[in-house]
Amino acid sequence: MKLIRVEVAYAKPGIQVLLSLEIPEDFAAIAAIHASGVLDRFPEIDLGSISIGIFGRPCGLDQRLLPGNRIEIYRPLIADPRTARRERVQKK
């Protein structure tokens, strides 16, 4: 079985992790996330409600991976960007 190297990235205020791992080439993103151990380090990650992407492009948990892919786990937004921008403009 051929192995490929991928990375799993997760960030929250004050903490960023980039975990590099080798996985079988037929793994999907969800399997790489589990294999990385990021779910053990950050138990608040809920696979049922998160969004992920590869190099900034949204994808599904079932996305097959290519060598060198970086799976990014996104946190939910705490504020609507348009509303936040409008409020900043109004303060000025």
- Domain count across the chain: 1
Given a contact cutoff of 8 angstroms between Cβ atoms, the answer to whether 5 and 21 are in contact is: yes
How do residues 4-20 score in pLDDT, each as one tens digit? 999 999 999 999 999 99
CA distance 9 to 1: 25
Domain span at 54: 3-91
How do residues 38-88 score in pLDDT, each as one tens digit? 999 999 999 888 999 999 999 999 999 999 999 999 988 777 778 878 888
| CATH number, position 83 | 3.10.20.30
Q: Note the pTM of the prediction, 2 decimals.
A: 0.82
Question: Tokens at residue 11, please?
Answer: 């960030």
Classify burial at 86, counting beta carbons within 10 Å of its beta carbon; exposed 0-12, middle 13-18, buried 19 or more: exposed
Q: Is the dihedral of CA 74, 77, 83, 85 positive or negative?
A: negative
CA distance 57 to 2: 25
